[in-house]
Amino acid sequence: MSKNNIERISGRAPDELRNVSIKAGVIKNADGSALIEFGKNKIMAAVFGPKEVHPKHMMVSDRAIIKCRYHMMPFSTDTRKRPNISRREIEISKVIREALQPAIIMEDYPRTAIEIYIEILQSDGGSRCAAINAASTALADAGINMRDLVAACAAGKVNGQVVLDVDDTEDKTGEADMPIALLPNTGLITLFQLDGNLSKEEFDKALELGKTGCDKLYKLQRDALSEKYFNDKNGNKEE
């Protein structure tokens, strides 16, 4: 078996995503919502707004402000975590907000706030990318004017090999993890992070692999929204 055909611990091929499912419109009381199951990750995103800004001094006269909260439930990991928001969750909230902002036409909603809440019900590596996919789908479900959906996926290096969609075990034992997010129609990258070391050749391969993963997730996002719209149109919306 050649190096390019070596299977991973999970049994996946180097360019294979984990099983992914996305469902839009899952929370009745939110303006928009989505549930993503990305491998063993289970993540819920809810969007509220555009709405009045509180506190008012945060209001911007010519555009909306985006608020984002990424929160891991205490039971979401193998080790029970404290319910309070951690420094890491605050950092990831900022990363996700900045990844989503270029897609939102914020000038269409002056003097308002758009709030995004992300709850990690179960975590298994790659949760920030999975959360971006869920949050972007929820924004579209809420009817927020967007230039495009934001799709996100990570590539990495495990056992000397560049692979797509690093899971929790591979993240802990691997040599590199590179999450990216982009607007697929324009190719604009809105998130790029790299933890670890890659040669130029490995970097180029990982970037192309990550973009390929984003394209696959973009299709799943669009399919989820199409299914939600079709159900609503036919009077089958879930209560």
Domains of the chain, earliest start first: 10-227 (3.30.230.70)
Mean pLDDT value across residues 46-59 = 94
Q: What is the pLDDT of residues 109-158, one digit of tens each?
A: 999 999 999 999 999 989 999 999 999 999 999 999 999 999 999 999 99
pLDDT at 13 > cutoff 50:
yes
Q: What is the pLDDT of residues 176-192, one digit of tens each?
A: 999 999 999 999 999 99
Residue 1's pLDDT is 34
Nearest one of 1, 132, 116, 101 to 50, comparing CA atoms: 116
